[in-house]
Amino acid sequence: MGKKLSTGYCPLCQRYARLTFHHLIPKKMHRRTFFRKNFNKTQLHSGIFICRQCHNGVHRFYTEMELAKQFRTLEKLQHDDKLSRYFAWVSKQAIQV
């Protein structure tokens, strides 16, 4: 899947918006030994398309290491208490252009 900016429904807040690519294992972690040994290139470069507001929130609530170790799937992002409250709030906000 390409990493170009596109539009569609954000899987986190369900709004129709411009989407950005979020690496499920942040790129900063790719060079660390743990991740190089335990994940192949495809896994390291996998990600999801989410809106900018949700993307900013994901990175505001958790460090790169926390995201890489604890939130490597869409489902884990969706089911985190802190993030799900934030996504619910975002779902009521106007789309930023």
* In the chain, where the domains are located: 6-90
What's the average model confidence in pLDDT over 59-69? 96
Query: How would residue 6 be classed by pLDDT, with cut points 50, 70 and 90?
Result: confident
pLDDT score recorded for residue 4: 60
Q: pTM of the full predicted structure?
A: 0.86
Q: What is the pLDDT of residues 16-37, one digit of tens each?
A: 999 999 999 999 999 999 999 9
Residues 86/12, Cβ–Cβ less than 8 Å: no
- Tell whether the model's pLDDT for residue 1 goes beyond 50: no
